[in-house]
Amino acid sequence: MKPHVAFLPSPGMGHFIPLFQLARSLVFNRGFQVSFFVITTQASAAQDHFIRSAAEISPDLRIISLPEADVSGVMFEDMRLLTKICVIARESIKPIKPMLIELNPTPVALIIDIFTTDAIELSIPVYSFFTASTSLLALSLYMPTLDLEVEGEFVDLPAPVEIPGCKPLLIEDLLDQVKDRKNDEYKWYLLNVSRLKYAAGILVNSWENLDIQRITALKQNAFFRSIPTPPVFPIGPLIKVEETLTAKDAEILAWLDNQPCESVLLVALGSGGTLSSKQLIELAWGLEMSKQKFILVVRKPTDASASGTYFTVGSDEDDPLAYLPDGFLERTRGDGIVVPTWVPQISVLRHRSTGAFLSHCGWNSTLESLVQGIPIIAWPLFAEQRMNATMLVEEVGVAVKAAPKIVEAVVGRKEIETVVREVMEGEKGKMMRRRAAELKRSAAEALESGGSSHRSLSLLVDIWKSKY
């Protein structure tokens, strides 16, 4: 019988996909069997679709749906996104202990993510797969110390946050969840990151050549060793490897086939992000004025929250194309494609005609872009995306910010036109494209036999097999 590992991701495609890709890898490349627990409470249509397509991948990869939890008495409309995720996770995983006991053979490890840390109290070894960047992991491990040492709000600090062994973190780049320490969202985040030190290990979806400074700090710096930080295993980049294509998807790829090499800008802001009505109009005008070819993914705008579609992504909604400027579709016909809600992102990014990616800089999308060697126009919306954007621009050299001087305001059409032209036609875009090509090679080498991430995962596999 094969060694057995269980997985427990929290809600949201950004958490779900990387854990699933690791599960696939263990089954197909490492000879494991996997039980993959799924939180069904308020699951998005996109997650349901993903699960249906994944259910028959292999008899060694079993999908187990957790019973839907009643959250009516503990979750409220005015809760912020992270609080909702944590409440759903806490209520949904209550029956997991007896479900794990019933599995045969008993799993040698349970792999969780940052918001299912209630499971750390179980009797089997629990590993945290930190699905965001190493930049956020370093901040998260430092957060309990920061919480004790700083009075008042972090956003009022006079200087960047000095994380031991790492580059300073700009105050304006702090993730949204720590900007208001009085809000429950902060308390939930602090609770979860405070538990990281109790994990048997921390898996990171990155590779050494992308962020060697932080990875070295997490492993060797005296502060992180003193917490103590569990062993850190960079095993990335793990991204979605294939997509189920619809007839509409095939039309998009056929259109790309007829475009010049590296001539098309993909504009897609993640599975949970959306723009305000005014910003969507300015973005459309900026694309039109740039005279560049594009694929624009449009969701119904909302003026309430940039994360407003987190739990509804993939569901039917009002026609989002109706919110574009009058005549936009007609004027850009032939030069651009506008797609409601969803696009086969992996297939588009790997296509020879794609030249750049206007992205929210969520970590999954960032890795998908880097693996394909595609430079980025950074348009962060929420969570840790500003941290990622700054890292990509100032450290990695593969991105430019859409409007670096504007924070939480509308980026104008002229600014959008300028940055799109700069990346698609200018010298800066060529430099970014060369750097992205270097990272594409580096990412592939990390995953090859003998590469840094392959070795790191092999260490984990050996640990797990030794317990079998």
- For the annotated catalytic residues, the residue numbers are 15, 113
CB-based contacts of 73: which residues, under 8 Å, 6+ apart? none
Specify whether the backbone of 133 is left (phi greater than 0), alpha (psi in -120 to 50) or beta: beta
Q: 113: which strand partners?
A: none
What is the Cα–Cα distance from 187 to 192, expressed in whole angstroms?
9
What is the Cα–Cα distance from 167 to 160, expressed in whole angstroms?
9
Residue 413 near residue 286, CB atoms below 8 Å: yes
What is the Cα–Cα distance from 118 to 141, expressed in whole angstroms?
17
Q: Please tell me whether residue 407 adopts helix, strand or coil conformation.
A: coil
CA Rg value for the chain? 22
Q: 60: which strand partners?
A: none
Helix and strand tally (H, E) in the chain? 17, 13
Residue 202 near residue 229, CB atoms below 8 Å: yes
CB-based contacts of 181: which residues, under 8 Å, 6+ apart? 147, 153, 154
What is the Cα–Cα distance from 374 to 355, expressed in whole angstroms?
6
End-to-end CA distance of the chain: 10
Comparing CA positions, the residue from 198, 192, 136 lying closest to residue 169 is: 136
